[in-house]
Amino acid sequence: MLDRPRPHHYELAHRALPSLMGPNPEHVIETLRSDSALAFLEHIGGVVCERLERAGAIPPPNCFAGLAVHQVEAAGLPVVLVRMPPALAPAEAIFVALFVTAEGEGRVHTLELSVNVMTGDPTTMACEWRDGTHMNHGQGPEGSVEAYRAWLDGFLSDRVPD
């Protein structure tokens, strides 16, 4: 495991994707649910790499190889799960979950690689970006699509009014 997150990986998951969910999150979700989702993500990844290169950080070749998009449902909401390339350092995202609430609010949750402070073993952390603030929701599930979907379903169901 690396000591710190790789800039390209961190920037895509924690800056670029959350920034897309601003004034028109429905359009972003529509794009990510379309056949052009991977091309869209690769374009965003390319923008991230260009910005990092201008700042003097040279991303490795094919740094976003392995990106994938999964369509799931959690708490009755359609959710787009972006599987990131393998996480190698704490705070690197395994998944970025993007969805729009019933009230039309764009939301971004992340499942991140972490380290158990008691044992030093790798674990996951369930987090969220909201209004530019990173919130930690505690230990997350294993890094599979179904485990994270189930975690989101439980977490969001507890917070959605009846």
pLDDT in tens, 57-79: 888 888 888 899 999 999 999 99
| DSSP annotation of 15 | I
What are the pLDDT digits (tens) for 116-156? 999 999 999 999 999 899 999 999 999 999 999 999 999 99
Region 37-52 average pLDDT: 94
Q: Which two tokens stand for residue 5?
A: 């997150």
Judge whether 80 and 32 are in contact, CB under 8 Å: yes
Confidence of residue 160 (pLDDT cuts 50, 70, 90): low
Judge whether residue 161 has pLDDT over 70.
no
pLDDT value of position 162: 44
% of the chain at pLDDT higher than 70: 98
Q: What angle do CA 30, 68, 10 make, to 5 degrees?
A: 95
